[in-house]
Amino acid sequence: MPFGLIAAHWPIVLNLLAGSLLGAWVGAGWATRLKSETLYRVIAVLLVAIAGVLVFGHDASMGQPLLVGAAQLVAGIIAGFVIGVVASLLGVAGG
């Protein structure tokens, strides 16, 4: 993917980044407080959920955005937060 195409969407990137940084912080805190057995179960559930999203969301098509304006901004921050929590619980990128 060309960098110019990504750079054209810089507000979306910053929006997701804002939520994911906070989510990674929270997720890392949870991961350090969980017992190993519980963490393994959480990881298993997350991996199954991700597999389900990949299987059932594979043929999804994009039309018009579901949300616009402030609602899209809030949804992006929430999505980024969830992404950060999941990434840190799974240990992605040193989380």
pLDDT in tens, 10-27: 888 888 888 899 999 999
Amino acid 95: pLDDT: 45
Q: Rounded to two decimals, what is the model's pTM? A: 0.74
Q: Which residues contact 75 (CB under 8 A, 6 or more apart)?
A: 67
Tell me the CA end-to-end span of the chain in Å, nearest whole number.
26
pLDDT digits (tens, 9 = 90+) for 37-71: 999 999 999 999 999 988 887 776 767 777 888 88
